[in-house]
Chain A
């Protein structure tokens, strides 16, 4: 059972918008930067968002993120079939002194 809670799956049609939530607590999401990854099994997790809402170079602005209190949200607009992947949030837990990830959310573009 993951410390951070994500929905197991989300889906939407091409061109639509989808959001993925990441719920934690005051010791992790509430007090540390949240990072978001796009991941295909067997490959290197692709950094989408760091420090809550910053995009690395090369990541399109279709991907955005926000954080409020103990929850973070990843938004993907203009969905493309190539966006189908697993999405993970991650952060540090200052109380447990460990890194923590969400359980992952599988995005299906219908």
Chain B
């Protein structure tokens, strides 16, 4: 049974960076791609990027213009999403999900001065 556990809520100032983790268990770590999705208050689901756990290659949505870095640590079966140059509009709930089927519990990121 796929289980994804994300790190806790974060509060950051504008311009800072945040790194959210997603610990995977209950399945073969390299068998499923992992996506990152976010939802800002009052907005819909927004796809951010995807990482191949086997080779670590990642693709992110053009909208983020290189502000997103997706990585994984095979030794700890953990995925990471780092978002830099934070703006107030980055305040959102961030989710990791395997193949858009199994989801982590979400991590609230608040960007405020």
Q: Which of A's residues lie within 8 Å of B, judged by CB? A: 2, 35, 37, 39, 41-45, 47, 50, 86, 88, 90, 97-104
Contacts and interface: CB of A to CB of B under 8 A. Distances in A.
Nearest to A104: B44
Contacts of B54: none
Contacts of A41: 39, 41-42
B44 A97 contact: no
Nearest to A37: B45
A44 B102 CA distance: 10
Contacts of B46: 101
Q: Is the interface of B mostly helix, strand, loop or mixed?
A: strand
Interface of B: 35, 37, 39, 41-42, 44-47, 50, 59, 61-62, 93, 95, 100-106
9 contacts: A35-B101, A41-B41, A41-B42, A44-B104, A47-B103, A90-B47, A99-B50, A101-B44, A101-B46
Given A41-B42, A102-B44, 10 more contacts: A2-B44, A41-B41, A44-B105, A47-B101, A88-B45, A90-B47, A98-B61, A99-B35, A99-B47, A101-B37
Contacts of A35: 100-101
Nearest to A3: B47
Nearest to B61: A98
Q: Is the interface of A mostly helix, strand, loop or mixed?
A: strand
A35 B98 CA distance: 13
A97 B59 contact: yes
Given A41-B39, A42-B93, A44-B106, A101 B101 contact: no
